[in-house]
Amino acid sequence: MNPGEKILSKILSIDQMDEWVAGERAASRRIGFTCGSFDLLHAGHVQYLCAARELCDRLIVAVNSDKSVSRYKSPLRPIVPERERMYVVAGLAAVDAVTLMEEDRPLTLLLRWKPDLYIKGGDYTADALRSGDAVREYGGKIEVIRSGFETSTSKLIERVGALAAHGEPESAAAQNFRGLVLLDRDGTLIRNVPFLHDPAKVEVFPGVIDGLLKVQAAGLRLAIVTNQQGIGLGYYTVQDFIAVNQRLLRELGARGVRISKIYFCPHSLADQCSCRKPATGMITRAMRDFDVTPEQTFLVGDSDDDMRAGADAGCQAITVDAKGFEPAVEQILSLLPAVQ
């Protein structure tokens, strides 16, 4: 068995786990059970799983499904999909078997397999107490292992967020930027795919990257303002939207185009929000964030709603039509000398 196969062989369905547990029990092995999302595996996780394994002969880890993590942590989580989270956990020598936990709490699985030990990492939560009664009732024991590390997935995410917010040190030219170009995404930068949520379908229009490079070189900064009512309507998630953007940013970034920020409106028309274009909410917020006047702000879009939003916010609204991106760039550059 190669190492990859060995790891995969530890990942079991609920039914396979029934059989596995029966086998281990028949061999009189002491079974430990723990669970969690293990979104970004860190030292605290590894330490607690190793300590957990010391307490038993075989350790089962139930990994929360993507849906359950979204439910009980945040709609923006998990960062890593369930298949990969299970694979990483199964890769640890301390872990003997891994399964997927669809429910938020482990009670059903605990009652199904009745492990000798229910092991919790970190603080003794109300959740552990609640399931704890059931465990004690069938004769199991609860063990809590406190982490010797200060780290947590949430702290890691916070750290990454802080790094991203600081951005790279900017050149003097970028600090003296002359204005802001707000770009619509769908139908302007990339081909319009209704309710786009598949990164593989991102298709940057010809001329966009060269055009953005010219605009950037002229001392303008770039941000995206995009209506994404598919989120509000439930056609795709914020995570799907971010995955699409990530693909777009990677393509632009590879050529040196830097998008400073992405503003999006997740609401549907029915929500009557103040951000969905043709409303001006996203545009005024961007102008505030970048500390630019409407005269210094260009809005580039492909729809009437874009043009109206731009005009209502007092910016220079520039349309991208069948002729492509290049004429819009020329128009911005021709207007630029007037911008102070």
In the chain, DSSP assigns E strands to: 31-36, 58-64, 97-101, 117-121, 141-145, 179-183, 220-227, 259-265, 297-301, 316-319
CA distance 219 to 143: 60
Number of residues that bind Mg ion (CB under 5 A): 5
Residue nearer to Mg ion on the CB measure, 96 or 186: 186
**The one segment of 16-24, 116-124, 136-144, 186-194 that binds Mg ion by CB under 5 A:** 186-194
**Number of neighbours of residue 204 by Cβ within 10 angstroms:** 18
Preceding amide of 78 cis, omega within 30: yes
**The one segment of 181-189, 245-253, 279-287, 325-333 that binds Mg ion by CB under 5 A:** 181-189
184 binds Mg ion (CB under 5 A): yes
Q: How far is the CB of 259 from Mg ion (least distance, A)?
A: 16
The residue whose Cβ lies closest to Mg ion is 187
238 close to 196: Cβ distance less than 8 angstroms: no
Residue nearer to Mg ion on the CB measure, 64 or 303: 303
Backbone angles phi, psi at 109, to 5 degrees: -70, -40
Q: How far is the CB of 286 from Mg ion (least distance, A)?
A: 16
**The one segment of 93-101, 151-159, 168-176, 303-311 that binds Mg ion by CB under 5 A:** 303-311
| CA dist 129 → 102, 142, 293 (Å) | 20, 9, 56
302 binds Mg ion (CB under 5 A): yes
Q: How far is the CB of 188 from Mg ion (least distance, A)?
A: 5
CA distance 80 to 166: 24
307 binds Mg ion (CB under 5 A): no
**Closest CA relative to residue 189, chosen from 217, 226, 218:** 226
Which two structure tokens, joined as six digits, stand for 298?
Answer: 């260009």
Residue nearer to Mg ion on the CB measure, 55 or 193: 193
66 binds Mg ion (CB under 5 A): no
Backbone angles phi, psi at 279, to 5 degrees: -70, 165
**Closest CA relative to residue 59, chosen from 115, 13, 8, 104:** 115
Q: How far is the CB of 321 from Mg ion (least distance, A)?
A: 12
CA distance 297 to 97: 56
Q: How far is the CB of 228 from Mg ion (least distance, A)?
A: 11
230 close to 268: Cβ distance less than 8 angstroms: no
187 binds Mg ion (CB under 5 A): yes
186 binds Mg ion (CB under 5 A): yes
**The one segment of 43-51, 67-75, 98-106, 185-193 that binds Mg ion by CB under 5 A:** 185-193
Sign of CA dihedral 258, 246, 11, 119: positive
Residue nearer to Mg ion on the CB measure, 134 or 193: 193
Q: How far is the CB of 32 from Mg ion (least distance, A)?
A: 54
Q: How far is the CB of 247 from Mg ion (least distance, A)?
A: 17
Residue nearer to Mg ion on the CB measure, 127 or 305: 305
**The one segment of 27-35, 132-140, 264-272, 302-310 that binds Mg ion by CB under 5 A:** 302-310
CA distance 71 to 272: 26
Q: How far is the CB of 339 from Mg ion (least distance, A)?
A: 24
318 binds Mg ion (CB under 5 A): no
Residue nearer to Mg ion on the CB measure, 66 or 184: 184
Residue nearer to Mg ion on the CB measure, 85 or 277: 277
Q: Which residues bind Mg ion (CB under 5 A)?
A: 184, 186-187, 302-303
